[in-house]
Structure 1
């Protein structure tokens, strides 16, 4: 049925994403509950390491599915819904990104407080249960959008009409696609098609941006934990980053009308790089773990104030975690029992890093929306030209 063809990509990616997160949360829960048994099953924490590897693999699958869902809805669907109205496309893209960032405000705050003041186990149950329930709501909303917008179904009707032509083209290399080199050949054809776009280099710039950008990903969050920031504070920082990102989505459509699409993108990239210099400066700031004297200072602070072990030994060594925001034993801000060796200056480095990441969110999303719109406009213009040539 042609009605389900365009919906299939969004549907499959949505289900895989939510269920993968639920399975990952369940795995984390059981690893925490049976931590002592898992540690002693195999020598050298072998079973524990295997469990961590499985959790990471499931998380990667969830992330890939999330990316697929984003491409299907925020890239393909939105172009068909807005048609040739570039202003509507810019505004709608900004609204969708704002909705995404709003969820990034609520989710970290909720889970951060639960994991800090209840327990990590309850936090895992909450995340897993939420994703199981939300998959039905999200699927229903996708279905409503698909059925309400005729343009989405019209795209697939056109594709069905051209099915014979596509089959003829794909039949020429059917034997190759079945071979081991099928994926490689598909990649080559994709790159050839991609480089034909006038905005191909802008797309490469966006890809490079995401390869180098600092964000609140697993590595950054894990690093922040080793610097003594607990889940509650981390959730607040992630929410602050989302708020700054929302500011970027608000600025983008207005700035685009004032100074144009390209200048808006350049402004976004410049703003992002300016804030990221704070992250570079954090490497040499006081309290940086890259300081040659950091290890000795951490050992001295551990002699003064004994910190509790973390939830996942031996991956995280508690002696490297300053006691101020230790995630297992939060210390009130007005506590005067801190050792003299631990001062607020020891947190300048991680503070600069977090400030740079949060501030860069505005420019990041301005640049992202700009380059994405350039691609959507180019794709639409190319499609119009293809139809015009076919008619004549």
Structure 2
């Protein structure tokens, strides 16, 4: 047994150190990309409540725009990533994400410097607010494309023909990197806001994205060029997509040639027109992606996961803006969000241990199912739809924030959030019972054993 292991994993040579270094490049690039995103996610709520105090309206509108962008365009992004080459997706992702955050940061600086614009030049004020919302929506869509590419495809390709636990470890580590950014970026940004100024934090955000985009591009392209399997997977995916389109066109041509010659031309034209309409509707990226998603085994737990995003209690834009309205310093809010992230980091440490001892269903990590239980050809599409569904729930939460925009009524939003999380737990219990045919091992419980002995 030891000899076979040695044959499969020989001593490290120069050639084997290079993939390890490239994987580290992947982690560093992922860290840089997520850091900029987490800085913006934390800061935008504080910016909005300072731009228009005494109301959560602008913060809720921004959150609604951001969530609506993913909810509407998420499935399209998934199919777009599936259609283009990995290198092209990488270029568009990094440029659009970082450029959008730079423009949004500059707009925030302009609004903070010229705070009287809403009274003197309201049209310019609204134009800058609109620019912040549009750039935020574009930034979150490009971030989604990068997340799908890295977490749904690259990690799976790199871990192919490797021990099964490698994918679990890589998933846990990338998630841990994201949560570390979620922990540290708000804390550092909060200290900048509290002890320097809000304008300084916006300038820092813009400078970070201006500089980091070049480093990120070099790191990710080094990984892509250094691991041939990534390029091969991209070519296979594009070839599969083109083949599907060609087969659909050939099928349509063959069916048209089999139509009876004796039919009236008007009836033939009507039938062809109706058929083309139905085909075009079914081929709409949004509808086609949802149809693929609903056929997956992970659809119900995916819905349960999405319901967890229907909350205002996760230190998002609304909760951050409310705490700022309450007069809590920004660094304290950042520390609170950091503590929130620590729990998530602990989960990434505990998961590999739990997954090795109990089943994946019991552990309940949806992202692992989306890689293990979804076929490779559907993996990117399912990832896009899942992110879209989660953003739809976030959108509903922000719509509730628009309706209940008075910070004094925030407790009502908290009650609704609790109900949504309870529903998510109920749906997951249904899925767990369907898979395992039970929820608990009652016969192994202490009180059950005592009852059996007494009887």
Do both share a fold (TM > 0.5)? Answer: yes
Please, which of 361, 371, 379 is the counterpart of residue 366 of structure 2? 371
The CA deviation string for residues 255-312 of structure 1, in whole angstroms up to 9 with x for no partner, is 11112211111xxxxxxxxxxxxxxxxxxxxxxxxxxxxxxxxxxxxxxxxxxxxxxx
Quote how far apart the aligned CAs of 1:121 are: 1.2
Q: In the alignment, what sits opposite 1:147? A: 225
Q: Are 2:179 and 2:345, in contact at CA under 8 Å, matched by a contact in 1?
A: yes
Q: In the alignment, what sits opposite 1:365? A: none
The CA deviation string for residues 155-191 of structure 1, in whole angstroms up to 9 with x for no partner, is 12324554652341454799x9999x76982222212
Question: Where do 5+ consecutive residues of structure 1 fail to align?
Answer: 266-369, 384-392
Quote how far apart the aligned CAs of 1:146 are: 1.2
The CA deviation string for residues 29-50 of structure 1, in whole angstroms up to 9 with x for no partner, is 01111222453124xxx54344
Q: In the alignment, what sits opposite 1:36? A: 116
The 10-residue stretch of structure 1 (81-90 or 223-232) with the greater mean CA deviation from structure 2: 81-90
| Change in 2 beyond 3 A, CA 1:164/1:27 | closer
Q: In the alignment, what sits opposite 2:79? A: none
Q: In the alignment, what sits opposite 2:134? A: 57
Quote how far apart the aligned CAs of 1:138 are: 1.3
Q: Are 1:10 and 1:73, in contact at CA under 8 Å, matched by a contact in 2?
A: no
| Change in 2 beyond 3 A, CA 1:178/1:211 | farther
Mapping for residues 287-326 of structure 1, pairs under 5 Å: none
Secondary structure, counterpart of 1:210 in structure 2: coil
2: CA distance between counterparts of 1:171 and 1:141?
Answer: 40
Please, which of 196, 219, 228 is the counterpart of residue 118 of structure 1? 196
Q: In the alignment, what sits opposite 1:186? A: 285
| Change in 2 beyond 3 A, CA 1:77/1:40 | same
Q: In the alignment, what sits opposite 1:90? A: 168
Quote how far apart the aligned CAs of 1:127 are: 0.7
Misfit runs of 4+, over 3 Å: 159-164, 169-174, 176-179, 181-184, 211-214, 380-383
The CA deviation string for residues 93-142 of structure 1, in whole angstroms up to 9 with x for no partner, is 00001111112222112211111111111111111000111111111111
The CA deviation string for residues 185-228 of structure 1, in whole angstroms up to 9 with x for no partner, is 22222122222222222222222322347322211211111122
The 10-residue stretch of structure 1 (145-154 or 202-211) with the greater mean CA deviation from structure 2: 202-211
1: CA distance between counterparts of 2:301 and 2:133?
Answer: 32
2: CA distance between counterparts of 1:144 and 1:252?
Answer: 30
2: CA distance between counterparts of 1:6 and 1:235?
Answer: 35
Quote how far apart the aligned CAs of 1:230 are: 1.8
Q: Are 1:41 and 1:47, in contact at CA under 8 Å, matched by a contact in 2?
A: yes
Q: In the alignment, what sits opposite 2:147? A: 70
2: CA distance between counterparts of 1:99 and 1:162?
Answer: 33
Q: Is 2:107 the partner of 1:27?
A: yes
The CA deviation string for residues 50-87 of structure 1, in whole angstroms up to 9 with x for no partner, is 43233122212212221221111111211111126432
Q: Are 1:39 and 1:47, in contact at CA under 8 Å, matched by a contact in 2?
A: no
| Change in 2 beyond 3 A, CA 1:213/1:231 | closer
TM-score w.r.t. the length of structure 1 is: 0.63
Q: In the alignment, what sits opposite 2:393? A: none
Q: Are 2:315 and 2:337, in contact at CA under 8 Å, matched by a contact in 1?
A: yes
Q: How many residues align?
A: 272
Q: Are 2:117 and 2:125, in contact at CA under 8 Å, matched by a contact in 1?
A: no
| Change in 2 beyond 3 A, CA 1:163/1:107 | closer
2: CA distance between counterparts of 1:193 and 1:248?
Answer: 30
Q: Is 2:345 the partner of 1:246?
A: yes
The 10-residue stretch of structure 1 (212-221 or 130-139) with the greater mean CA deviation from structure 2: 212-221
Q: Are 1:22 and 1:129, in contact at CA under 8 Å, matched by a contact in 2?
A: yes
Quote how far apart the aligned CAs of 1:249 are: 0.6
Relative to total residues, which structure has the larger helix share, 1 or 2?
Answer: 2
| Change in 2 beyond 3 A, CA 1:126/1:201 | same
Q: Are 2:312 and 2:318, in contact at CA under 8 Å, matched by a contact in 1?
A: no
2: CA distance between counterparts of 1:246 and 1:169?
Answer: 46
Q: Using CA pairs under 8 Å that are at least 6 residues apart, name the structure with larger relative contact order, 1 or 2.
A: 2
1: CA distance between counterparts of 2:282 and 2:106?
Answer: 33
Please, which of 87, 94, 97 is the counterpart of residue 7 of structure 1? 87
TM-score w.r.t. the length of structure 2 is: 0.54
